[in-house]
Amino acid sequence: MTKPLVYVQPAVHVEAMRFMADNLVMTEVARWCGGKVGSEAKPSDHTDVAYWIRVPDLDSPSGADTAHPGEYIVKDQEGRFKVWPARKFEETFRRAGLRGAALVGEAGPELKR
């Protein structure tokens, strides 16, 4: 009798940092990925400021991608950086070395799902 075979996808290990709208964290994340922090205040309200990081991305036509607060910047196995939406990243990756569902770049206790 013929039986199905079991296949396993090799584990993928990446480094990642979550971009948060905090001046110190933004600067550290940008330095890590070789990116640049940008910001723009609303003309009508100078306290309402949008932040972003321009992340080098050679696969992009512009040579860079833009990360917004809450998104993850991921360094793949070839050393290239990509911006991942938080939900997609959190559904795809688990923090290495921990059982459970702690996310890369998250401080504090493991997140339970």
| Averaged pLDDT, 70-98 | 89
| Averaged pLDDT, 21-39 | 93
Question: What is the pairing mode between strands 81-84 and 45-56?
Answer: unpaired
Rounded CA separation 113/106 (Å): 15
For residue 108, being part of any structural domain is answered with: no
Q: How far apart are the first and last CA of the chain?
A: 40
Distances 104 to 73, 91, 97 between C-alpha atoms, Å:
11, 12, 11
**Per the structure, how many domains does the chain have?**
1
For residue 50, being part of any structural domain is answered with: yes
For residue 84, being part of any structural domain is answered with: yes
> Helix H segments across the chain?
23-33, 86-92
Confidence (pLDDT) at 22: 86
Amino acid at 109: P
For residue 57, being part of any structural domain is answered with: yes
For residue 109, being part of any structural domain is answered with: no
Question: Residue 19 belongs to what domain range?
Answer: 15-92
For residue 23, being part of any structural domain is answered with: yes
For residue 101, being part of any structural domain is answered with: no
Per-residue pLDDT reduced to its tens digit, 91-106:
888 887 765 544 444 4
For residue 75, being part of any structural domain is answered with: yes
Q: For residues 36 and 26, is the Cβ–Cβ distance under 8 A? A: no
The token pair that represents 74 in the structure block:
């991921």
| Averaged pLDDT, 47-76 | 90
Q: What pTM does this model have?
A: 0.73
